[in-house]
Amino acid sequence: MRITAVRATPVAVPYRSDEVWAFGRRSGLVSVLVEVDTDEGLTGLGEAAAYPSADIVLGALRSVEPLVVGSDPLRIEQLIQRIDVVGTWHHIGASSPAAAAVETACWDLLGKSCGRPVVDFFGGRFRDEVEFFHYVAAGDAADVRDEGRRAAKAGARVCYLKVGADSLDTDVERVAALRDGAGPAMGIRVDANEAWSPGAAIRAVRELEEYGLEMVEQPVSGRNLPELAYVRGRLDTPLLANESSWTRSDQLAVLRHGAADALSVDQQMDGGLLNLKRSAGICAAAGLPVVKHSLGELGVAVAAAVHVVAATPNFRYPNQGYGALLTDDVVRGAFGGPLDNYRDGRLPVPDGPGLGVELDPEKVARYADLYRTSAADFTFHDPRALLAAPALPKR
């Protein structure tokens, strides 16, 4: 089998309510859908988050295309090395979502060529369903309380809330409201996205711990691991690394510093599914659990991750997902996308060959059109956020 073309379609899908983090807001997400065509008539699917922008992803895909067209898509290790080393992309982190989308499409092609689901290539089903957290948008306390109730009703085990974008009093008010709405059994994971200084982080987390936290995610800079370890040593709540653990080499550094109790791993930030499995293995060797991170994904990327997470024991906590925020998806059937597709916060491993998902042409056309007309509303490129977030750390 040979690759004949790499096709890319950016799409924009709206949220129910704005996603707000320490450095901006967006009203939906943009993903680039990738279709890898072959001379045997099979097409593999991949998806790249628009990170840092759809234009960067599209540019990276155009650069990668001559490296992969004509190649055997089932020589996946060779293909990703060609992109990284021959294509000299290995020093450029921004290329990773594009490379990961092509790599994922090759796993889809492998599965379609032999009639097996991708989970079978990564160790087989360790679990039949993959659990996700319920993403609670950081809005007014009353809205946060209502969303906590919705999460509990939907059967979620953990709610996720961004902190660090506003004053500590506001964060405390939101976490208190979330506990009130979601009830005593709900895990609450807070993510500061590096917004705090070490001293501020310790003070803030101790106040938030009054309401019971499951984990605190990246409270301080991801680039100062001794300080991350210092903060971890002074908190009772387990610390989840994220911005400090994008790649395998980053994860190794976090482990060497004893800087986290759990690590986020992400197939889009480190070249694809094979490296996602390797990331989990590195952390498993250190005795630590991992959580699947998401830059904001639709059904293709979610399905890809579900296959690997289902096959890997140390994904023991609810993973990052956008089901509570998204209004729709681009794949056929009830997979990914809105919360209605989840059962108790869980998605089943797709049974079909490859990734086991298909694009819905009508929805792809609709959301590609929305990208063409309104892309600016769906990115974090909000100039007003600069005034609210002048520097790292914020305080």
**What is the contact surface with Mg ion in residues (CB under 5 A)?**
191, 217, 242
Min dist. Cβ of residue 289 to Mg ion (A): 16
- With respect to Mg ion, which residue has the nearer C-beta, 9 or 279? 279
Min dist. Cβ of residue 153 to Mg ion (A): 25
- With respect to Mg ion, which residue has the nearer C-beta, 23 or 89? 23
Three-class secondary structure of residue 137 per DSSP: coil
In angstroms, the CA 392 to CA 395 distance is 8
Q: Which of 87, 12, 20 is nearest to 328 (CA)?
A: 12
- With respect to Mg ion, which residue has the nearer C-beta, 9 or 242? 242
- With respect to Mg ion, which residue has the nearer C-beta, 191 or 297? 191
The answer to whether residues 301 and 329 touch, using CB atoms and an 8 Å cutoff, is: no
Classify residue 390 as left (phi > 0), alpha (psi -120 to 50) or beta: alpha
Q: Are strands 158-162 and 187-191 parallel, antiparallel or unpaired?
A: parallel
The answer to whether residues 291 and 320 touch, using CB atoms and an 8 Å cutoff, is: yes
Q: How many helices (H) and strands (E) does the chain have?
A: 12, 12
- With respect to Mg ion, which residue has the nearer C-beta, 43 or 197? 197
The amino acid sitting at 81 is Q
Residues 349, 157, 355, CA angle at the centre, nearest 5°?
15
Min dist. Cβ of residue 373 to Mg ion (A): 30
Q: Where are the beta strands (DSSP E) in 118-243?
A: 129-131, 134-136, 158-162, 187-191, 215-217, 239-241
Q: Where are the beta strands (DSSP E) in 39-117?
A: 43-49
Min dist. Cβ of residue 368 to Mg ion (A): 28
Q: Which of 313, 354, 293 is nearest to 115 (CA)?
A: 354
Q: What is the residue whose two structure tokens read 């405390």? A: 172
Q: Which residue is nearest to Mg ion (CB)?
A: 242
- The CB density around residue 307, as the number of other CB atoms within 10 Å, is 28
Min dist. Cβ of residue 124 to Mg ion (A): 29
Min dist. Cβ of residue 123 to Mg ion (A): 26
The answer to whether residues 60 and 99 touch, using CB atoms and an 8 Å cutoff, is: yes
Q: For CA atoms 316, 322, 323, 328, give the dihedral sign.
A: negative
- With respect to Mg ion, which residue has the nearer C-beta, 242 or 279? 242
- With respect to Mg ion, which residue has the nearer C-beta, 191 or 227? 191
Min dist. Cβ of residue 371 to Mg ion (A): 24
- With respect to Mg ion, which residue has the nearer C-beta, 35 or 217? 217
Angle between helices 225-233 and 248-257 (to 10 degrees): 50
Tokens read off for 153: 């009703």
- With respect to Mg ion, which residue has the nearer C-beta, 43 or 245? 245
The amino acid sitting at 70 is G
